[in-house]
């Protein structure tokens, strides 16, 4: 067992603060990683402040972080995929049972016994699993991912959650050249959806309530930008979309977007509004449209996404911060005051 530096929250009302946590020694199939960068996901904030208490009560002290990029420092004797010095990444999952139908299908994100990078029960050390706001992490090699060497590592970190969360549904619903795709919301998730939809060759339309975001949406790869509060602009697109990715977490009129789908079109939710959405049945029935949701992807698909990003030089737009500013970043995140993700330079932790 090793003691390493980290930042943790002691309670729902406590700020994140320096601490020391225990990491297990690498077992035969384990990879030990020195963490170089860790993205900040809104899930980190929700978990640290126990805002998901109904479905995922926080285990304190908690160390958030599941967008991890680092360098391998040690491997177990049975590890074959990695060696010391390799770049490596860890996303939202660090284990699963490996035997259920979902795992056998490469869909570990649906495993009933999956172990999350933070917030699950730690089978070896007890307590909760502890995430990437730390000096190192030890993970079974099956859940460690290869990082294309051409990518900017700080900007690649959010690919481990924001990237796969948007890539997976776009792939699942067959977004390719010739398709018309809508992205609702231009934030941490939405900006990645625009980049992927554009790279897949789709005609990409961004929906936003903010006219000021039009220029940025076009820069990111959008072909068109629709101001969703403008009824005339919305009306021009009725019945024309093959697929719409809804990345908005605030309450909004989802039926307005369902009506934009063509026959057999799909709208997938990746944003999670606090309040239930009102969905009139006729919007779905007339047009045989479908509404679905999507979390992250499995390990194989996450690796596919990273390789795709390497081929197309896709990363997140990030603001890099030292870990000492993580609490300030959380407050700014609540105000959407970032374009479009924060990434922590973990060298700042080692300098304390």
pLDDT of residue 272: 85
User: Quick one: CA dihedral 123, 127, 133, 136, positive or negative?
Assistant: negative
pLDDT tens, residue order, the chain (352 aa):
899 999 999 999 999 999 999 999 999 999 999 999 999 999 999 999 999 888 889 999 999 999 999 999 999 999 999 999 999 999 999 999 999 999 999 999 999 999 999 999 998 899 999 999 999 999 999 999 999 999 999 999 999 999 999 999 999 999 999 999 999 999 999 999 999 999 999 999 999 999 999 999 999 999 999 999 999 999 999 999 999 999 999 899 999 999 999 999 999 999 988 788 899 899 999 999 999 999 999 999 999 999 999 999 999 999 999 999 999 999 999 999 999 999 999 999 998 7
Q: Which helix (H) or strand (E) holds 73?
A: strand 68-75
Place of tokens 């896709």: 314
Q: How far apart are CA 279 and CA 42, in angstroms?
A: 26
Question: Peptide bond preceding 340: is omega within 30 degrees of 0, i.e. cis?
Answer: yes
Q: How far apart are CA 48 and CA 313, in angstroms?
A: 32
pLDDT of residue 280: 87
Dihedral of CA atoms 256, 261, 264, 267 in degrees, nearest 10, equals -60
The top-level CATH class assigned to 2-161+297-350 is alpha beta
Tell me the β-bridge partners of 6: 19, 134
Cα–Cα–Cα angle for 110, 250, 174, nearest 5°? 45
Is residue 68 within 8 A of residue 33, CB to CB? The reply is yes
| Homologous superfamily (CATH) for 163-293 | NAD(P)-binding Rossmann-like Domain (3.40.50.720)
Phi, psi of 85 (to 5 degrees): 100, -20
Domain boundaries, the chain: 2-161+297-350, 163-293
Is residue 121 within 8 A of residue 68, CB to CB? The reply is no
Q: How far apart are CA 124 and CA 113, in angstroms?
A: 15
Tokens of 176: 């390719």
Question: With b meaning 16 or more CB within 10 Å and e meaning fewer, what string describes 183-200?
Answer: bbbbbbbbbbbbbbbbbb
């Amino acid at each position: 067992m090793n003691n390493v530096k980290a930042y943790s929250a002691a309670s729902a009302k406590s700020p994140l603060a320096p601490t020391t946590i225990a990491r297990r020694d690498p077992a035969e199939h384990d990879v030990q990683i020195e963490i170089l960068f860790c993205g900040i996901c809104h899930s980190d904030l929700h978990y640290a402040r126990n805002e998901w208490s109904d479905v995922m009560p926080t285990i304190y002290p908690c160390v958030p972080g599941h967008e991890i990029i680092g360098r391998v420092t040690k491997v177990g004797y049975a590890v074959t995929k990695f060696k010391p010095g390799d770049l490596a990444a860890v996303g939202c999952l660090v284990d699963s049972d490996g035997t259920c139908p979902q795992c056998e299908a490469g869909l570990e994100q649906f495993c009933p016994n999956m172990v999350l990078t933070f917030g699950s029960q730690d089978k070896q050390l007890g307590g909760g699993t502890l995430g990437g706001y730390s000096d190192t992490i030890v993970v079974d090699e099956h859940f460690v991912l290869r990082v294309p060497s051409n990518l900017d590592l700080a900007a690649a970190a959010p690919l481990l959650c924001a990237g796969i969360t948007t890539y997976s549904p776009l792939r699942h619903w067959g977004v390719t050249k010739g398709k018309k795709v809508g992205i609702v919301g231009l934030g941490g998730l939405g900006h990645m959806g625009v980049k992927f939809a554009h790279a897949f060759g789709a005609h990409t339309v961004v929906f936003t309530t903010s006219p000021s975001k039009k220029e940025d949406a076009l820069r990111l790869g959008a072909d068109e930008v629709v101001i969703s509060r403008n009824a005339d602009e919305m009306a021009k697109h009725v019945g024309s979309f093959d697929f719409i990715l809804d990345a908005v977490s605030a309450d909004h009129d989802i039926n307005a977007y369902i009506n934009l789908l063509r026959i057999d079109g799909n709208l997938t939710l990746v944003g999670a509004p606090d309040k239930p959405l009102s969905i009139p049945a006729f919007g779905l029935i007339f047009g045989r449209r479908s509404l679905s949701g999507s979390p992250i992807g499995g390990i194989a698909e996450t690796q596919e996404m990273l390789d795709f990003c390497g081929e197309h030089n896709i990363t997140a737009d990030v603001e890099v911060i030292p870990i000492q500013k993580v609490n300030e970043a959380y407050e700014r995140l609540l105000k959407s005051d970032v374009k479009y993700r924060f990434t922590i330079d973990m060298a700042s932790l080692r300098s304390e």
